[in-house]
Amino acid sequence: MSEKGALRSLLGICWGASKGDEGSSGKSSSNSQRRQYSDSDDISGASFSQEDLSLKLAGSNLHAFTIAELKAVTRNFTMTNLLGSGGFGPVYKGYIDDKLRPGLKPQHVAVKSLDLDGQQGHREWLAEVIFLGQLRHPHLVKLIGYCCEDEHRMLVYEFMPRGSVENQLFKRLLASLPWSTRLKIAVGAAKGLAFLHHDAEKPVIYRDFKASNILLDNDYSAKLSDFGLAKDGPQGDNTHVTTRVMGTHGYAAPEYILTGHLTAKSDVYSFGVVLLELLAGRRCVDKNRPNRQKNLVDWARPYLNNAEKLRRVMDPSLDGQYSVKGSQKVAAIAYKCLSHNPKSRPNMKVVVETLEPLLNLNDIPTGPFIYVAPKEKVDEDEEKENDDKKKEKIETETTTQDQKNHNNRDQRHKQRFPNSVIHSEVTLHKDGKSLFRNSHFRKYQRHNQERGA
């Protein structure tokens, strides 16, 4: 049996009688069903051991860790190593090297532990082991190993130091993601989906594409994670996979919600939602927004094909520091991805071919964006009042300058003729035949005025 066949037969062993996610592939002309992972019910999921799992996964390069080893790696799952928690369960940071096991590459890892009381269970854990055990791509997170011991179900991934797109886009405190970084993330995520849909040995529908499931390395290269809801895509004449509706509110395609029919175009719609989040810097569903803006797709999609109105959608924290041409092309492809008609949506190869050339555009403004408001028309009365104020100001300045000039002439004359009577403090005044000093003359005038009174 081939490695792929061995891995797929494992699901029949592990999922066993669990039928909650029974899937069928629809044909346009028949109701024939295609055997899926969950169709097998011959062996209970509780009946396999770690040795069985290791045997079935032989050749996948996955390591079967023990719970004791993972306790050592994460310092007994201490809270200081806790990276976060999601629907699957808590995630801890750890470190592995050849001291733990010969041949292990020294590196930091993320250890995800299944919460037995959480939203996901053994089925989702096993799906991740199967899919990521088979699939290898630069834009898919690398699964290093797993733990299946007693009730413990754990997954060991490569550590992604930048965390998720959700955290980078919505929870950054100091600065927003630059436009070039957002575009790089979009291209990387698109390549990951294109690989699953078109280049994998058998097509895979991701089914849970969202900002929190896109992880970033040091260089902001995007990698898809969390394959717990992934499904085999339709093959041959089959047009879709019918399954129970699962995913995240706001990201799931409308036709999938209504009918349960799952296709690769369902992932394309979810990609369009994330692309819109990257443009707007907003969550796809935000109850704190005004009523019309609570659902991002409903509010923003009408603006995406209008260059003037697109500015209403663009993230204001970018401060205008983005490629206008690039943003318009991104908005146009997002508009197509978000079409309510699945057949009108492009496939992911077309999306990659559209987005990747935009990385080479160099029309991003170099300085901060400054909006210059148009000058308003001033009425005639205000203009006249302003003119009068200007004239009054000019006259005041002229008078002040003349006074300064006069004072300057007096100073120059005093320096040249210091003994002149003009500048004497005891000026002589002549009244008839008598000469008086300045102070005596004033007393004489006042005495005469009193006598005359």
Active site residues: 208
User: Helix, strand, or coil here: 430?
Assistant: strand
Select from 267, 254, 275 the least CA-distant residue to 341: 254
CA distance 412 to 434: 32
Beta strands in 227-306 (DSSP E): 231-232, 238-242, 261-262
Helix then strand then coil, in percent of the chain rounded to 5, is 45, 15, 40
CB 265 within 8 Å of CB 342? yes
**Contacting residues for 421 by C-beta, under 8 A, at least 6 apart:** 427, 428
415 CB-contact burial (10 Å; exposed 0-12 / middle 13-18 / buried 19+) = exposed
User: Helix, strand, or coil here: 351?
Assistant: helix
Distances (CA, A) of 201 to 131, 141, 204, 282: 11, 18, 9, 36
* CA-CA-CA-CA dihedral for 198, 341, 249, 211, to nearest 10: 40
CA distance 37 to 127: 9
CA distance 182 to 169: 9
Q: What are the residue ranges of helices labelled H in 74-214?
A: 122-134, 165-170, 179-194
CA distance 156 to 110: 6
- Written as one string, the DSSP assignment of 365-418 is -SS-----PPPPPPPHHHHHHHHHHHHHHHHHHHHHHHHHHHHHHHHHHHHH-T
- Residue 122 token pair: 């053994």
Question: 233: which DSSP letter?
Answer: P
